[in-house]
Structure 1
């Protein structure tokens, strides 16, 4: 009985320590990756603003072949929604919130479930020349307390950024075909 009490007390102390440390761990994160695509800006922008095109280049959309996807609204316009349900990728939605024609698409990401959150994201295109465009994909957000404790052991920039870079390389391949 004494050993069990010591074990339980140790577990409570460990949980308390984690909760205290989490108070001081950074909650905010930001991820940004860019790539140069050898296509005119308007052509690139017209492609990336369409949510349905993400299945052709986004590693997130390709990760789970069993993923259930749905769309609402007029694709490529403010208010358009892309939603998904996945055992591997969780459940969520992307909503186009703002479009600056030929420059940027702002998206609000809604992640549902136990670690639910909302994060702003965007895809921006920039003219480098008549036939070359830079595409930047970025997202920022907040890891809720006490989940932010995991930030000590994993980098959101590395985790998400790696997938962003892979996706942008696939986008380049699709558009430069």
Structure 2
């Protein structure tokens, strides 16, 4: 009995130590430069409906069901999706808009697990082109903190952002 309690105690201490050293915050972002004026790019990126046209997740599940609430492209507008196991279920709500420079959304993942993150799009003029930065940030909560010791958010989601930005570039430069 004492041996079992000792083992449980050691495991609890180990879990607490791992939680303390594990990453608590994450931020992933990718950039692309498009040959389109910033006002056109901004208007397109603000539209949750247009985002579905270049979203890498829409491609992962062509049968994904998406519903919209509110005035598309304005603070408070929401897209809600239900898809296969690759995309799950969740919603994205526009929370902040700074004309021609920044769009922030709250991503609420409902399935296969619940979590909330911040999505953002930053725009910067580069000569007659526009640099678009697409990012995702948030905080890990216990026990996800420990899992993240063995996973890299950048490796997990970065390639999806690259694919989406490549599709966006093709879409917006037509």
Please tell me the TM-score bracket, short chain as reference: 0.7 to 0.9
Which of 94, 97, 100 is residue 99 of structure 1 equivalent to?
97
Aligned-pair Cα RMSD in Å: 2.2
In the alignment, the residues of structure 2 paired with residue 76 and residue 14 of structure 1 have an alpha-carbon distance, to the nearest angstrom, of: 52
TM-score of the aligned structures, taking structure 2 as reference length: 0.87
| Corresponding residue for residue 66 of structure 1 | 63
Runs of 4+ in 1 over 2 A off after TM superposition: 11-20
Which of 87, 90, 93 is residue 88 of structure 2 equivalent to?
90
In the alignment, the residues of structure 2 paired with residue 116 and residue 172 of structure 1 have an alpha-carbon distance, to the nearest angstrom, of: 31
In the alignment, the residues of structure 2 paired with residue 94 and residue 175 of structure 1 have an alpha-carbon distance, to the nearest angstrom, of: 21
In the alignment, the residues of structure 2 paired with residue 43 and residue 121 of structure 1 have an alpha-carbon distance, to the nearest angstrom, of: 20
Unpaired runs of at least 5, structure 2: none
SS at match of 2:158: helix
Which of 155, 160, 164 is residue 158 of structure 1 equivalent to?
155
Question: Mapping of 1:1-177 within 5 angstroms?
Answer: 16=12, 17-18=14-15, 20-88=17-85, 89-113=87-111, 115-130=113-128, 132-177=129-174
TM-score of the aligned structures, taking structure 1 as reference length: 0.86
Alpha carbons of structure 1 residues 83 and 12: separation in structure 2 relative to 1, 3 Å: farther
The offset of 1:23, in angstroms, is 3.6
In the alignment, the residues of structure 1 paired with residue 158 and residue 39 of structure 2 have an alpha-carbon distance, to the nearest angstrom, of: 25
SS at match of 2:148: helix
SS at match of 1:170: helix
Unpaired runs of at least 5, structure 1: 1-5
